Structure 1
Amino acid sequence: MNEFDKDYWEDQWGDATSGRERQLPVNPYLTAEAAHLPVGTALDAGCGTGTEALWLAEQGWEVTAADISSTALAEAKSRAVTSGVGERVDWVEADLSRWQPGRTWDFVVTNYAHAQIRQLPLYRRIASWVAPGGTLLIVGHLHSHHPDAHHGHDHPEGATATLEGITNLFDSPEWRIDSAYEQVRTVHPGGSPMRLRDVIVRIHRLT
């Protein structure tokens, strides 16, 4: 399994930000699943170069955007300067597997984030940062035994999750699962098609 430590992500984002044409538009699951939510405070856990954090800020959210990579955050801050909403985003360099923010948010979203712990323990940690009455949106890479699963975006061991595995984390009176589904889509980073197998879960924290 990849370590997904700071050095790993600095290498990954160093390659990505050297060619800005690789920047993808905002994750479509975020725009669909957050459209009805009342605006408040939001955390983008594993924000990368800030696409989703800036979109949330454009909708009026007060955003905390956390990532382990200083390279990614430098790019995000640069984009924020020209966005007109940079004052709504607080950029935080943090390792999600160890971070103790000491607060909660009305809306917590994580898009394809990986840390030095496996996906389900990571999602459990991120869920603890949701305020009572708030919402958690998980967008992850789907673990599948489908015969063509490896013909798209490749994922190392431990970087994927199943729909059942995620929803089982929230099988308690504290939570209500509002959306839970799998989807296949194609993106074009750098102009080349890449097939993604996604798992999407939106959960409301009741207490």
Structure 2
Amino acid sequence: MSTSDAVGAAGPMAATGPIDAATYWEDVYAARPVVTDPRPNVRLTEIVTALPSGRALDLGCGNGADALWLARRGWQVTAVDISSEAVARLTELARARGLDDRVTGEQHDLHESFPEGGFDLITAHYLHTPFDLDRSSVLRNAAQALRPGGRLLVVDHGSTAPWSWNQDPDAHFPTPREVASGIDADPSTWPIERAEPSHRIATGPSDQRAEVVDHILLMRRVA
């Protein structure tokens, strides 16, 4: 469900009719052309570049840009999405780039299942959906899956872009502190390293440009 600026900020239209989340997202990706050179999320490259590589988990990998960027930097990446089409496209992109030994794609409905193992980095970029999703539960599972010293990076929309699928003027964008409160992690074990809004210029699906706000939460597991 997570994607980079040009696609992710545009996102899907609101879900309508009796359709389940997995089918909906399959249709979304089937209707999109394959992105052959996807761009990683800006906040990922800003924050993770200085970190030593290890084992990473990309929650809602979308077009695969973040997973591929991490793999190029030496990370062993598990990338998950609810859409099997998204996972298949990522797997093919990784193979074509000689990164298939560093990227493992898995289909998960995070409402129902979570990848196994421990991770040094877990990222959740724009993990938004028009369907009900207990994000707090998903992020609690993510915090528990961190190895000692590992970090959880959550980047959410903090504003409505002109091209966003959600143009509700009354939409509430949870602050990073609100997201952290929902995770309800003991601060002595999972201290917050960063919790703040940050402004940037984003590019939309038709190359529009606008200032948007990202809500950034970075937590580290110390024990």
TM-score normalised according to structure 2 size: 0.77
SS at match of 2:101: helix
Instruction: Give CA deviations for 1:9-51 in whole Å, capped at 9, x if unaligned.
Output: 11222223x2638x65111111111112121111111111211
CA contact (8 A) 1:187 1:193 kept: yes
Which residue of the other structure, out of 158, 165, 173, is the alignment partner of 2:178? 165
Equivalenced residue count is 200
Q: Which runs of 5+ in 1 are unaligned?
A: none
Instruction: Give CA deviations for 1:147-182 in whole Å, capped at 9, x if unaligned.
Output: xx4645243889953222123234521111112221
Instruction: Give the equivalent residue in structure 2 for 1:155.
Output: 166
Instruction: Give the equivalent residue in structure 1 for 2:68.
Output: 54
**Structure (1 or 2) with the greater helix fraction:** 1
Q: State whether structure 2 residue 120 is matched by structure 1 residue 106.
A: yes
Q: Percent identity?
A: 31
Following the alignment from structure 1 to structure 2, what is the Cα–Cα distance between the partners of residues 105 and 33? 17
Instruction: Give the equivalent residue in structure 2 for 1:45.
Output: 59
Letter in 2 for 1:126: A
Following the alignment from structure 1 to structure 2, what is the Cα–Cα distance between the partners of residues 94 and 69? 8
CA contact (8 A) 2:197 2:215 kept: yes
Following the alignment from structure 1 to structure 2, what is the Cα–Cα distance between the partners of residues 81 and 58? 12
CA contact (8 A) 2:77 2:103 kept: yes
Letter in 2 for 1:182: P
Following the alignment from structure 1 to structure 2, what is the Cα–Cα distance between the partners of residues 4 and 132? 36
Instruction: Give the equivalent residue in structure 1 for 2:4.
Output: none
Following the alignment from structure 1 to structure 2, what is the Cα–Cα distance between the partners of residues 32 and 20? 22
Instruction: Give the equivalent residue in structure 1 for 2:220.
Output: 204
Q: Which moved more, 1:68-77 or 1:50-59?
A: 68-77
Q: State whether structure 2 residue 186 is matched by structure 1 residue 175.
A: no
**How far did 1:200 drift?**
1.1
**How far did 1:63 drift?**
0.8
Instruction: Give CA deviations for 1:113-157 in whole Å, capped at 9, x if unaligned.
Output: 236424333322322221222111111122x6xxxx464524388
Q: Which moved more, 1:38-47 or 1:92-101?
A: 92-101
CA contact (8 A) 1:67 1:92 kept: yes
Letter in 2 for 1:6: A
